[in-house]
Structure 1
Amino acid sequence: MRNKLAYLGLLAGALAIFGTNVAQADELQDIKSAGVLVVGVKADYPPFGFLSPSGANIGIEPDLAANLAQRLGVKVQFVPVVAANRIQFLQQGKINLLIATMNDTPEREKIVDIIHPNYYASGYNVLAPKSVKLTSWAQLKGVPVCAIQGSFYNKDVGEKYGAELIAFTGVAEALAALQQGRCDAFLYDNTAIEGELTDPLWKAYDMPLPTLGEQPWGMAVKNGEPALASFISQASEDWAKTGYILSLETKYGIPHSAYAEQQHDKYKA
């Protein structure tokens, strides 16, 4: 009996230690142990996330990811994502972190942990041929408009302005459809449209309407990872405080956004 009790005591102790280790395990420690931070980024959204001529992931958001990896002392690995699959990739554990031009919305905050402070912001607008002569959103009623699956503003434009949306999974497909005349305009983030308009390919197009629905962009991790979320939150605050986001805008040749300037003024104080 004494031996049995001693065995049970050892077993209980082992289980307690094992349970403690499980409770203390978290994704931040897993990243450090693996030596790599896996980040979902866009590959079709210059200058925020795109591919170099050699096929490397570059842009403002890959640079932010690399900065986080450097702070952790690990390597960074990029996984290309699009609006239609980015949250699923995060939930399925294919990536540790999402930095992919994703607007911070109440619906998304219910299913993933969106990091605050937010790091950027954008609204939505349309890219359209100058010949279409758009001057108001009301002119889109009944007009075929290319869009991207999963974009939060699709519903707004379809319901409020009566646009006939044709949704694609990727930006390249949507832009090709616009060029082919399959739609009269392309609904997308104003920041991305501004980037496209710097390319001579789009000299016959413009962004003619007032930008609507500006919302902040959020990085995201899976729910239930407070240590990882806290680490990234501290980094995001530091980016705003030091003006790192502003320096990346300069690096990639875009004007300083009002949001980035406001966040810098807020946190440097």
Structure 2
Amino acid sequence: MKKHLSLLLAAFTAASILGSGLAHAQSAVLDRIKSAGVLRVGVKTDYRPFGFLDPNGKIVGLEPDLAADMAKRLGVRLELLPVQTANRIEFLQQGRIDLMIATLSVNEQRRKVVGMIEPYYYAGGTGLLIRKNAGIKQWADLKDKPICGTQGAYYNRGVAQKYGARIVAFPGNVEAQNALLTGSCIGFVQDSTLLGSILASGDSKWADYEMPLPVEELTPWAVAVPLDERDGPYGEFVSKAVTDWHRSGLLMSLEHKWGLPPSDFLKEEQAKVKAQ
């Protein structure tokens, strides 16, 4: 009898310790999401087809579709909040959003301030959109030329430092594109995926523009959570969801849905997760 009671006491003690450990492992962000019944996701509204406004003013695109899938997995309502390159990290740090799916390229500086989730979900590189008669045949031809860019985009520094371009930075992509169209600069440096989608849109205003230079520095994109949540339950949940996006083919399906050409990056990532 004493032995039986001792075993029960030991089991109760172990359960109490385990429960205490789980309590400490809880996520403040997950608790807030569950309590409020809503997942707030920061997405772009100027980056077709990844995030943009439809004719009715609704935010749509590949990344809003991913946000909707994440909210469904959590069993909560989705709230999409517009962010720009210049403020998206600040929104996440300030707790104004719970999750960022906003064409965020991975680099070491950003790793220090937000929780970049692996595996990464997409990839793009540095591209240049220019007028066909601009006379730009190679990246080196950009020396001392005015090039439109968006504030906070990592592409700006590389093109300025490597090729001597004079970057004219704007708050968002729409402003930069309008500046290019009105002749304020001779080119627009941005992610190759955005520039490719602009040319593929069929919009007549881009008929005289092209992207003739080779894409440089292909870089993966990450879904991001607050830095202190990256290695906890919330970060693990998001990581499992992204892994499933690759394994199930959801990302490839959305790529096709939104008119993007099949990317080698998604094929390679799917092969990796299926091999695990």
| TM-score normalised over the length of structure 2 | 0.88
Q: Which residue of 2 aligns with 1:91?
A: 93
Question: Using the alignment, how far apart are the partners of 2:187 and 2:174 within structure 1?
Answer: 14
Aligned residues: 252
| TM-score normalised over the length of structure 1 | 0.90
Equivalent residue runs for 1:89-238 within 5 Å: 89-198=91-200, 199-225=203-229, 226-238=232-244
Deviation at 1:258, TM superposition (A): 1.1
Question: Using the alignment, how far apart are the partners of 1:164 and 1:178 within structure 2?
Answer: 14
Aligned-residue sequence identity (percent) comes to: 47
Give the aligned residue type for 1:160. K
State the SS of the aligned residue for 2:42: strand
Deviation at 1:153, TM superposition (A): 1.9
Instruction: Tell me, yes or no, if structure 1 residue 239 matches structure 2 residue 245.
Output: yes
Give the aligned residue type for 1:131. N
State the SS of the aligned residue for 2:161: helix
State the SS of the aligned residue for 1:131: coil
Deviation at 1:253, TM superposition (A): 1.2
Q: Which residue of 1 aligns with 2:11?
A: none
Are the structure 2 counterparts of residues 132 and 44 from structure 1 closer, same or farther at C-alpha, using a change threshold of 3 Å?
A: same
Deviation at 1:21, TM superposition (A): 6.5
State the SS of the aligned residue for 1:150: coil
Question: Using the alignment, how far apart are the partners of 1:240 and 1:54 within structure 2?
Answer: 31
Q: Which residue of 2 aligns with 1:249?
A: 255
User: Which deviates more from structure 2 when the two are superposed, residues 152-161 or residues 85-94?
Assistant: 152-161
Question: Using the alignment, how far apart are the partners of 2:194 and 2:204 within structure 1?
Answer: 15
Aligned 8 A contact 2:155 2:191 in 1: no
Aligned 8 A contact 2:116 2:223 in 1: yes
Give deviations 1:237-265, integer Å, cap 9, x for gaps. 01111111000011111111111111112
Are the structure 2 counterparts of residues 25 and 136 from structure 1 closer, same or farther at C-alpha, using a change threshold of 3 Å?
A: closer
Gaps of 5+ in 1: 1-19
Question: Using the alignment, how far apart are the partners of 1:258 and 1:151 within structure 2?
Answer: 24
Give the aligned residue type for 1:205. Y
Give the aligned residue type for 1:79. L
Deviation at 1:200, TM superposition (A): 2.7
Gaps of 5+ in 2: 1-21
Q: Which residue of 1 aligns with 2:266?
A: 260
State the SS of the aligned residue for 2:109: helix
Question: Using the alignment, how far apart are the partners of 1:25 and 1:228 within structure 2?
Answer: 6
State the SS of the aligned residue for 1:235: helix
Give deviations 1:78-117, integer Å, cap 9, x for gaps. 1100010000000001000010001011110111110000
Question: Using the alignment, how far apart are the partners of 1:76 and 1:106 within structure 2?
Answer: 30
Deviation at 1:22, TM superposition (A): 7.7
Question: Using the alignment, how far apart are the partners of 1:254 and 1:112 within structure 2?
Answer: 28
